[in-house]
Structure 1
């Protein structure tokens, strides 16, 4: 249970501020995360890692010489936004390109890829290596769909050491990809974690039982089993990993392996050492040579009780990079000469968004947009627990919290822009940016894209008619579809596409805004309900698809709720037409 916090919505920001204050020898604060406090040679590849907060020492604790150059740090269990990733990477860049590396989760993929596209458009070469070490999350023939857990460390460490050794971007990518291909992890959980302000954990495990193969966000495991002895757990972890040796490993006996026995938050170091005693014995019996083992908390899950084991199958080059010195707040090896600290004035300055001129008519429409967003915010507040419960059935249970963070930020941004005399398009665009920035995760990326697309069609000059809103929602749908989901994948798309289709049809039939929106909202609600019969093919629910049968997709359900909320705004006398 998390006891020490102020405003739960501000927890991640306050945590990062305190982390930086305590570690100014290693890191500097930038919008969206941290970068090295020490000077990096020009012409060095920048290794930028990241993900949601709540996993310390991942990700900020791994920034420093010999490891990462920067970390984008999202909200609790939510990926950083594309803007946060872009800011961290642009600040860390030293002229030789950027390598992004992070755990393979849908939200992280969406936001890091968006940031990568933007950086490339600005002339900064970028590459990506996603960590896919968790053998429980997909079979070996679909290893590219696996999630990243404690094996993040092996990839980040090898990439950072290679960059600081002077490898070019192709070389850093090469060794990072090989480290990922030769890293395997497997974990168990004994109890769930509770986020600040929540009155219940994200998931529970029956007393005396453990979830086998659980993810670091509480994703359900492969199955449950009785909690074994420490030796019994060691045998389960080692046998599971030795059952899948990477194809590139020529021979097992005599092979050298890096080993990480990772505590997920509430398992004490003393317990880990008891488990590692037997792990070391089993690896020796398998005639494996252990190199630089790590026992401790390297990738946590807030206060979750759990353990994972990682085997990193080394070759000569990987072993040299794995053992190279590094100096970060949470992870150190060997010895490095003192380094010069950078001056805070060298960090890129941040500027507030400019408010373009708008017509009086568009500013009146902006008032309607603010009211609609406020109604959406109240709707999410009313349903936040329900959305979390739905998401916890096959996912990690944070959809309600993420949506709440996003919509609250969108309302604040919209009100500030409206007070600055912004038109409707600018109000919606800045609201979308704020939603994506604060919510992170997949839902943040999608809602940011939706509001941005509608904003482009609405603009800052005219009063949009029903046809304009239909075009805006079609553009929003196209933007979301570019992220890869299709109807039937059991995602928000299953409600969004029917909404946009029905809105176009109703407008074509001559319906006004309110009548057309009502028909579209009904279509979205029906489609969201029907998603209960679908099996998820994307996102965190995919590895445990059967668990979600009978429950609507949380993203589709929340979309339908919000479209109904917008309708209540127009029917209460704030119709833009």
Structure 2
């Protein structure tokens, strides 16, 4: 288990501080993560990678010459926010375009895409290549739906080498896509990982059994088998990864050249992995494959998870040249980098302009006061239920929903109070809370709550009285905005399953003439009933999608937390009406 921390909620920030102080030769801290401390004499395309913390050396440990130019580093197992990604990208930009690359998880896709859109709006050419190497997370004919695990390394290394070689953005993007198309990974685990401060691991495996097809965020495996011998594990890896459906298009196994990467997920020792690798090497060579630059060690971990994964990068001449090119980072070094060609970077300004508060009417400021009280209530109900939200999320997800909602709601409350003290109206208070929740909460829930608060605020404005119809219209628009943003629909077993009936019921009851309190009470009941009903659903979106029946009998944590929040806000509305 994870043993050393101060306050669990500060773990990621304090880890990044220590990482930068220990690795100043390679990296410099910026808002949202790290960027290179040096640059090439000639500007290149910039590769910006990222994801949640807890996977070292991914992602900060892979920043340096020949690999990434910057890494956005989110909270534990939570995607970095769009603001973090944008900040790191701007700090890493050299004027020749930016390639964003990360493992394909819902929260990462939402935040990185939002950051990409903001960069493009400012005229910066920004592209994205997601990593989709995990063969167990979707069938071979749906490879674009797969998640990224240890194959991150091969895609990042190829893209970083292409940038260092002077490729333009089209070329770097093409090379990264090719590397991803030719990378396959399979992982297994013997025990789950334990987040700092947690008493129990995110999942457990029965004694003598092994989980197959796990994720790197504490998601449980998709299947379980008896623990094999080291040779047996090597045979399982090779058999699955050499299945016909997993051989990349245009590749013939006989005579192929392959980079094998045996990755430790946190607590399996190198000595154990070398025993497994001996069998893997024999089997690959017996199949007619030539091994190129084998790697055994930790490249993408999951805290203290006892597990290993095998990645195969199927080479062509270009990929082999790029994989073999020199790289010098805190955690991955190969070849000889000419450090005389590197120059110290100028001071980086990553400061954020002070918030400008628009004029607001007295009516809107009064509404803003109630909104802040509602956010205080949201914070309290999340604090009270964070452990339970994490528990139900861990059954088929990664167990971080409670802590993510806690970080997000705390940040939203702090930002809202600051705006209110400056005389902000309803829209400005909600906009400040939205930005803070999205930035500090991270993950899918952080992005979505940012969308909800911001959308509602736009309907309320800063000058008009807050009327029931405006509130209902705002939540109706938020419902649609969330569905457009995250692509989830009713029945996918997500937050949408409680948000949609909540917004719809509120709109219907307000239109029928109910007071806001009566309409909200009916909507809150609808949200609670809908959240409970998600227990009987099969997941269609998010990390739980890969685990199917494991989530049956357990309600979706996002739907549950929304229903809790709706009930907490109802209490505030009732209290406000009594004064």
The question of a shared fold, defined as TM-score above 0.5 by the shorter chain, is answered with yes
1:9-158 mapped onto 2 (5 Å cutoff): 9-41=9-41, 43-158=43-158
Q: Distance in 2 between matches of 1:281 and 1:344?
A: 50
What does the per-residue CA deviation read over 1:191-221, in whole Å, with 9 as the maximum and x for residues that have no partner? 1111111121111111221101111112222
Mapped contact 2:150–2:309 kept (Cα < 8 A): yes
**What does residue 534 of structure 2 align with?**
531
Whether the 8 Å CA contact 1:536–1:545 is kept in 2: the answer is yes
Cα distance in 1, alignment partners of residues 355 and 23 from structure 2: 30
Cα distance, 1:313 vs. partner?
0.2
Please give the alpha-carbon distance, in whole angstroms, between the structure 1 residues aligned to 2:350 and 2:56: 26
Superimposed CA distance per residue, residues 513-570 of structure 1 (whole angstroms, 9 cap, x where no aligned partner): 1111111111111111122222111100111122212222111111111011100111
Equivalent residue runs for 1:357-372 within 5 Å = 357-372=359-374
Q: What is the CA-CA distance between 1:41 and the residue it aligns to?
A: 4.7
Residue 341 of structure 1 and its aligned partner are, at CA, apart by 4.3
Counterpart residue number, 1:163: 163
Relative to structure 1, the CA distance from residue 201 to residue 402 in structure 2 (aligned partners, 3 Å threshold; closer, same or farther) is same
Query: Displacement of 1:231 after TM fit?
Result: 1.2
The yes-or-no answer on 1:400 pairing with 2:406 is no
- Find the counterpart in structure 2 of residue 318 from structure 1: 319
1:454 corresponds to 2:452: no
CA contact (8 A) 2:140 2:246 kept: no
User: What corresponds to 2:198 in structure 1?
Assistant: 198
Q: How many residues align?
A: 576
Report 1:163-562 matches (<5 A).
163-243=163-243, 244-338=245-339, 339-343=341-345, 345-483=347-485, 484-562=487-565
Alpha-carbon deviation of 1:575? Answer: 7.6
Between 232-241 and 326-335, the greater mean CA deviation after superposition: 232-241
Runs of 4+ aligned residues of structure 1 deviating over 4 Å after TM superposition are none
Q: Deviations over 1:17-71 (max 9, x none)?
A: 1111111110111111111111245542111110000000000000111001111
Contact 1:181 1:246 survives alignment (8 Å): no
Q: C-alpha displacement at 1:418, in angstroms? A: 1.7
Conservation of the 8 A alpha-carbon contact between 1:521 and 1:564: yes
Distance in 1, Cα, partners of 2:518 & 2:232? 63
* Aligned CA distance change for structure 1 residues 362 and 575 (closer, same or farther; 3 Å): farther
Distance 1:508 1:547 in 2: 40
Distance 2:19 2:343 in 1: 17
Counterparts in 2 of 1:251 and 1:343: CA distance versus 1, 3 Å? closer
Conserved? CA contact 2:233–2:276, under 8 Å: yes
Residues 136 and 221, structure 1, Cα contact 8 Å, conserved in 2: no
* Aligned-partner SS, 1:28: strand
User: 1:353, 1:284 → 2: CA distance?
Assistant: 61
What TM-score, normalized by structure 2, do the two folds share?
0.97
**Distance apart, 1:425 and its partner CA:** 1.4
Give the alignment's TM-score, normalised by structure 1: 0.97
Does the CA contact (< 8 Å) of 1:514 and 1:575 recur in 2?
A: no
**For the residues of structure 2 that align with 1:49 and 1:353, how far apart are their CA atoms?**
28
Q: Distance in 2 between matches of 1:41 and 1:461?
A: 52
RMSD: 1.4
Encode CA deviations 1:351-379: one digit per residue, 9 max, x unaligned.
Answer: 23222232333222222111111111111
From the superposition, tell whether residues 575 and 9 of structure 1 become closer, same or farther in structure 2 (CA, over 3 Å).
farther
CA contact (8 A) 2:41 2:343 kept: no
Q: What is the Cα deviation at residue 232 of structure 1? A: 1.2
Match of 2:573 among 553, 570, 574: 570
| C-alpha spacing 1:369/1:139, structure 2 compared with 1 (3 Å) | same
Contact 1:64/1:329 (<8 A) preserved: yes
Alpha-carbon separation, structure 1, partners of 2:190 and 2:373? 45
Name whichever of 369-378 and 316-325 sits farther off.
369-378
* CA deviation after TM superposition for structure 1 residue 434, in Å: 0.8
> What 5-or-longer segments of structure 1 have no aligned partner?
none
8 Å contact kept, 1:368–1:575: no
CA contact (8 A) 1:60 1:70 kept: yes
Cα distance in 1, alignment partners of residues 456 and 197 from structure 2 = 33
Distance in 2 (CA, whole Å) between partners of 1:574 and 1:28 is 52
Instruction: From the superposition, tell whether residues 42 and 460 of structure 1 become closer, same or farther in structure 2 (CA, over 3 Å).
Output: farther
Partners of 1:389 and 1:41 in 2: CA distance:
50
- Residues 574 and 19 of structure 1: is their aligned pair in 2 closer, same or farther, counting only changes over 3 Å? farther
Report the Cα offset of residue 491 of structure 1. Answer: 0.8
Gaps of 5+ in 2: none
